Structure 1
Amino acid sequence: MDTWQTAFWQLRLAQCKSALEKNHFEVFIAQHCDEARTLFLDAILPKLTVRSASWADSMSLHATAILDALRQMPSINLIETFAPGVPREELIERRRQALLVDLFLTGTNAVTETGELVNLDMIGNRVGAITFGPRTVVLVIGRNKLVQTVQHAMDRIKSYSAPMNAIRHTGWKMPCVKTSFCMDCNSPDRICNTWTITQKSHPKGRIKIILVNEDLGL
């Protein structure tokens, strides 16, 4: 990566950090995924009392290998909500249990320059946990998720993130899988069901954000 591009995004991320902090989020900036994992392990986790943890689907989170580190900690009960070979009914029950953990980790669909999180969910376990339940929420957010306004965020999610997410999952039959465009469908597999706009973290600092100076996820 050219140094001038890194410097450009460092400025943008610093401005976003300031806006998020005004909205009561606790924010860290990492230059790459390894640094994001180190920040989590050294600056965030030691200040928490974590006996249970879980997570929602996030390519950004996976890129940091934070979950791999948590799996090596026997003192933390990690509720696996995407375990292979587990019946869907059991996974849904685990996702319900995950709403009461000490620590919940995931990403976001978009973050605005004014410090708001914008998300669109299929089931609602991710946005539900961000909103209420887990004592602490940690979000990993790549620089590509930064947009100007809430409307820009919603446009990006519907035109790009949602169709891309639909296509990357095998077996789903929404129209956008074939067209790459949102068709505002009525498919039983529809993933665009619940919007949330998180304007502020309540209580202050409950939601902790690691902004990463790399393109991560969709």
Structure 2
Amino acid sequence: MMKNYVKDRYELAAQTLSKKLERRNFEVIICQDLEAAKKSALRMIASDKTVGFGGSITVEKSGLIEALYQRGQQMIDREKTETPEERHRVMKQALTADYFLTSINGISEDGQLVNVDSVGNRVAALTYGPDKVLAFVSMRKVYGDVETTLEMVRKNTAPLNAHRLGLEKTPCIKKGNCGDCLQPECICNTIVITRRSMVKNRLAIFLLLEDVGL
């Protein structure tokens, strides 16, 4: 369980960070926990619109996807596919969804979003396509300047995800650290830094005051 003083610190830091994010045209919703984020996202998503999503432990743990299914939302879900070809087609279709659910690998203290991706579908949706992107991210993923944030994502988040996905041929698993590899299983094929949203409030950042995600 998170100590109260840690949550107090996260809350103060979130208030400061939110102003920097808003100056970059991001919408910011500060949430006490995943349950609060889920409820806020459900209010934001129109029930008659399509929803796509990328791989995200944080989004999965929130229960948001299940709640959307329960209310009859039209979902673009790659996990419901049966063949690689169908999965690829559905992942491309998700880029045209009205809403896209994802997470953020890291945020710099000045409000820039840092993400690494394997296939690229998640960062593609983040940068262009869906009219609205809802991104869940814990305050513990706010690291420092952009260079420090990228280093933390490459050296910490990427190896953890490689272990989660069982990418056994990568240095992430063989050595426990990023080796800047060019292996077929490389999880860091695409690195994206989003310093500003061209369309105001297109990207909604749900800042979570609890330790969740990788």
What TM-score does the superposition give when structure 1 sets the normalisation length? Answer: 0.93
Q: Pick from 64, 67, 70: which aligns with 2:65?
A: 67
Shift of 1:9: 0.9
Q: Any gaps of 5 or more consecutive residues in structure 2?
A: none
Cα distance in 1, alignment partners of residues 171 and 88 from structure 2: 25
Map Cα deviations across residues 6-59 of structure 1 (whole Å, 9 max, x no partner): 1111001111111101111110111111111111123x22xx475211100111
CA contact (8 A) 1:54 1:104 kept: yes
Which stretches of structure 1, 4 residues or more, deviate above 3 A after TM superposition?
none
**Distance in 2 between residues matched to 1:133 and 1:12, nearest whole Å:** 31
Alignment partners' CA distance in 2, 1:99 and 1:156: 28
Summarize the Cα distance change of 1:73–1:172 in structure 2 as closer, same or farther, 3 Å threshold.
farther
Q: 1:175 to 1:2 in 2, by over 3 A?
A: closer
> What residue number does 2:185 align with?
189
C-alpha separation in 1, matches of 2:105 and 2:34: 18
Q: What residue is the counterpart of 2:8 in the other structure?
A: 7
Sequence identity percentage = 33
Q: Deviations over 1:82-101 (max 9, x none)?
A: 33x72222111111111101
Separation in 2, partners of 1:192, 1:56: 15
The amino acid of 1:178's aligned partner reads K
AA aligned to 2:140 is N
In the alignment, what sits opposite 2:111? Answer: 115
- State the number of aligned residues: 213
Alignment match, 1:156: 152
Give runs of aligned pairs for residues 26-175 of structure 1, distance below 5 A. Answer: 26-42=27-43, 44-45=44-45, 48=46, 50-74=48-72, 76-83=73-80, 86-170=82-166, 172-175=168-171
Q: Secondary structure at 2:78's aligned position in 1? A: coil
Give the TM-score taking structure 2 as reference length.
0.94
Report the CA distance between 1:189 and its aligned residue.
0.9
Residue 122 of structure 1 contacts residue 194 of structure 1 at CA under 8 Å; is this kept in 2? yes
Secondary structure of residue in 2 paired with 1:126: helix
| Contact 2:106–2:141 (8 Å) recurs in 1 | yes
Residues in 2 aligned to 1:168 and 1:3: alpha-carbon distance in whole angstroms: 30
